[in-house]
Amino acid sequence: MKNSDFFTPSRHFTHQTSLQAEKVKINLKKSFKPTSTTNEILSRLSSNNRIKSYEGQVSENKFVITRSTITEGEKGYMHLSPIAQGVIKENQSGSKIICKVENTKFVHVSTLSFFTFFVIATIFAIIFILIPLDKKLIGVTIISGITALFLFLVYYFTSKYRTKKLEKEIIEIIEGKNK
C-alpha cells in the first residue's frame, strides 16, 4: 500500500447482475460513445472545470474508466487518469462485476499534506506548551493545527462520499439505467 492510499484507499466492490457479460459490455460501451450526452452521469461527479471528459474502454472482460483533464501551464495537454477498473465474470445467474474505484492524485496529496501539517502543528504546540513561550504563539499553533485537521477530515469524508457515488453510477451504467 502506498502512503497516499493510507487515508484515501481505493474502494473495491462487487455487483451481481442478471445481465449476461455481452449485455454489460454493450451498456458500458454505449456510455462511453462520444456524443453530447456522453458521460452525463459521470461528469456530474466533479465540479472541476479542468475536466474535459470521462472516457472508457472495454476489452475482453475488463473495463477501465478514465478521466481526462487539462493540465494548467501546458495548453492543450490532456492528462488521463484511471478512476475505475473492473472485471466482468460470467456465472450461472448472469454476471459478476468486480471493480476498483480510485481517488484522484490531488485527493491523495491533499489528505496526506493536511494530516502531516496537523501532526507537525500538534508537535509544535506540545513543545511550545512545555517551553514557557508567549500564549499567542501557542494559540496560533493550535488554531493552525485544528484548521489542518478540519481540512483533512473534509477531504477524507468527501473522497469517501465521491467513491461511493461513483460506485452507484457505475452500477447504473452496468444495469443500463443511465439512458
Element (H, E) at 139: helix 135-175
Return the domain boundaries, the chain: 10-102
| Helical segments of 44-104, H only | none
**159-163: average pLDDT:** 81
pTM: 0.66
Q: Is 50 exceeded by the pLDDT of residue 84?
A: yes
Pair 148, 117: CB distance under 8 Å = yes
Q: What is the pLDDT of residues 87-122, one digit of tens each?
A: 888 888 888 888 888 877 777 778 888 888 888 988
Which amino acid would we find at residue 73?
G
DSSP, residue by residue, the chain: --GGGTTSPPEEEEEEESS-HHHHHHHHHHHHS-STTTTHHHHTT---TTEEEEEEEEETTEEEEEEEEEPTTSTT-EEEEEEEEEEEEEETTEEEEEEEE---HHHHHHHHHHHHHHHHHHHHHHHHHHTT--HHHHHHHHHHHHHHHHHHHHHHHHHHHHHHHHHHHHHHHHHTTT-
pLDDT value of position 37: 47
Reading the block at residue 101, the C-alpha cell is 474505484
Q: How far apart are CA 117 and CA 106, in angstroms?
A: 16
* Half-sphere exposure for 39 (CA within 13 Å, toward CB): 19
Q: Is 50 exceeded by the pLDDT of residue 172?
A: yes
Q: What is the pLDDT of residues 113-157, one digit of tens each?
A: 888 888 898 888 888 778 777 778 878 888 888 888 888 888 888
